[in-house]
Homo-oligomer: A and B are copies of this chain.
Amino acid sequence: MLQNIRVVLVNTSHPGNIGGAARAMKNMGLSRLVLVDPQDFPSHEAVARASGASDILETAQVVGTLEEALVGCTLVLGTSARDRRLPWPLIDPRECGTMACADAGAGAEVALVFGREYAGLTNEELQRCHFHVHIPSDPAFSSLNLAAAVQVLSYEVRMAWLAAEGQRPKVVKEEVGSERSSQPSTTDEMELFYGHLNATLVEIGFLDPENPRHLMSRLRRLFGRSAVSRTEMNILRGILTETQKAARGLAYKRKSAPEEK
C-alpha cells in the first residue's frame, strides 16, 4: 500500500536535501522517489546524507516536468505556505497522511509534492495539486528544511498507515475500487480534460485567452476536489465535444429543435 505513494521533489538545489529526504522516506517505509529537474543529481553528498537509504536514490526516477512526475496519480498533495493569493483546499499534515493512506489503500496512486528550497512550488505547479498541505510552522520562522518537511509528511503517512493496519474496514476498499469505471481519473486524464475545457470555453466566447483571469484555476479547483471518475470523465468530455459541434453550427438535429434555430 505504501508503495502507491510517491514523493516528488521539484527542482531541488541541494543534493544533501535529496539524500535527507530519501532517508526520511525509508525510515517511514516509503520507497518511491521522483525528482523533477534536480540541480545536482546523482551526487556524493546525496548518498552521504541518505546514510543507508541509497537504494532509494538509485531507484529514483528523474523527469523533466512535474506533469511527467504525476502520471497515473489520482491524488496530488502539494506542500504550500499558507498565504497564497490563490485560495485552495488546505489541509494539515495529519489530514494529508489520512487522505494519502485512504486513497493508496484503495489502490490509487498518490503523490506528495515538495517545492524548491527557497521558492517552494509555483502557482502553476500548485494548481496541479488537489490539496495544499500546510505544515503548521511558526509564522515568524516558517520555512522548514526540505528534508524536514518530507520527514513530517512521511511520518504522518506512517502514523495513518499504522492506524489503518487491522482497522481499515474492508467495505470501503470494495466500494471505492470495485469497478474500473468508478475509479478516479488520473492526473494526465484530468490534464487532457482541462485542455479540452479551455479550448471549448474559448470557442463559445466565455474565456478570453488574452485575459483569462482566474477562470481555469477556479475550474481546476472545483473539478480537482471532486475525484472525477472515469465514467464521469467520459460524460464531461462528451459534453465538451457536443458543445464544440454546436458552437460550430454542427449541432445534432433533434426532432424538436428550439424556435431560435
Contact = CB atoms under 8 A, between A and B. Distances in A.
Contacts of A8: none
Nearest to A155: B152
A247 B250 CA distance: 9
- Bin chain A's interface residue count: 35 or more
A222 B123 CA distance: 26
Given A23-B148, A254-B205, A172 B53 contact: no
A116 interface: no
A28 interface: yes
Contacts of A137: 27-29, 158
Contacts of A204: 239, 242-243, 245-246, 251-252
8 contacts: A24-B144, A27-B144, A144-B151, A201-B242, A208-B254, A215-B235, A218-B235, A248-B260
A51 interface: yes
Interface in A214-261: 215, 218-219, 221-223, 225-226, 228, 231-232, 235, 238-239, 242-243, 245-254, 258, 260-261
Interface stretch (A36-44, A71-79, A86-94): A86-94
Interface of A: 20, 23-24, 26-29, 51-53, 82, 87-94, 134-138, 141-145, 147-148, 151-152, 155, 158-159, 162, 168, 171-172, 175-176, 182, 201-206, 208, 215, 218-219, 221-223, 225-226, 228, 231-232, 235, 238-239, 242-243, 245-254, 258, 260-261
Given A143-B27, A246-B243, A159 B260 contact: no
Given A52-B141, A91-B172, A223-B226, 13 more contacts: A20-B145, A28-B137, A29-B138, A88-B175, A136-B171, A144-B151, A147-B148, A151-B152, A205-B242, A215-B235, A219-B232, A226-B226, A246-B247
